[in-house]
Structures are given as C-alpha cells and as structure tokens.
C-alpha cells in the first residue's frame, strides 16, 4: 500500500491509486484526483461523484447501466464527463474502491 498527498492530506491508496479509506475523501481531493485524470470537475461531475459515494455507502453495486438508470445523466453524458474509462475514473475521483466489474 502506498501513501499519496491530496489537498495537503496524506492518504493510503492501493496499487492503482484508489483511496483505501473513503472516509478520508474530500471534495478538494476529488478536484486533485480529477486533474490527474485529465478532468476539470464541474457541478455535473460532482452530482455523479456524490451519487456514486451514496451508492457505495448503501452497499449497492455500480455499473454504467445503473448510472444511466439513475436519471442523473445518460450513458453518453457519463462517457463525456469521464472519458476513456468512465466508471473507473468516476469511482477513483469519488474516493471509493474500483468496482468489481472494472478490469
């Protein structure tokens, strides 16, 4: 396990850079993680990020289909907000573990 500094706070991350303790996450950290992923966070990004955090806290599984069905954003917009690997990037920014469905 490695340690990274985001927003002046040292946090433990796994080998892929995901926070190991989501309770340490802050919105300031999210902005720094997003910048590393090449994303400039907007209010729309944060709506999705907070939804993901709520789902994980409730023990719900995350899928792109689930994000689409949430009514927050459609799948096309989700891909535009988090290009390349939307679920992987969004969960990393949200400070939650990488979903099992992501390789």
As a whole number of angstroms, the distance between CA 56 and CA 66 comes to 12
Closest CA to 95 of 60, 54, 65, 67: 54
pLDDT one digit per residue (tens) for the chain, 103 residues: 789 999 999 999 999 999 999 999 999 999 999 999 999 999 999 999 999 999 999 998 888 899 999 999 999 999 999 998 999 999 999 999 887 666 6
Q: Residue 30 has what pLDDT?
A: 97
* Catalytic-residue membership of 55: no
The residues facing 3 across adjacent strands are: 12
Q: How far apart, in whole angstroms, are the C-alpha atoms of residue 73 and residue 77?
A: 6
Q: What is the structure's pLDDT at 89?
A: 96
Q: What is the pLDDT of residue 99?
A: 78
Candidate list 3, 44, 102, 103, residue with the active-site label: 102
Which whole-number Å values give the CA distances from 21 to 10, 11, 49, 51, in the listed order? 11, 8, 16, 18
């Amino acid at each position: 396990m490695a340690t990274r500094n985001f927003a002046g706070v040292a946090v433990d991350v796994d080998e892929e850079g995901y926070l190991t303790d989501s309770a340490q996450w802050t919105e300031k950290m999210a902005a720094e993680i997003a910048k590393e992923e090449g994303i400039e966070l907007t209010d729309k990004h944060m709506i999705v990020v907070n939804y993901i955090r709520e789902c994980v806290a409730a023990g719900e599984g995350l899928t792109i289909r689930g994000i689409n069905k949430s009514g927050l954003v459609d799948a096309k917009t989700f891909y535009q907000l988090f290009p390349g690997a939307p679920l992987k990037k969004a969960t990393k920014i949200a400070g939650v573990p990488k979903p099992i469905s992501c390789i």
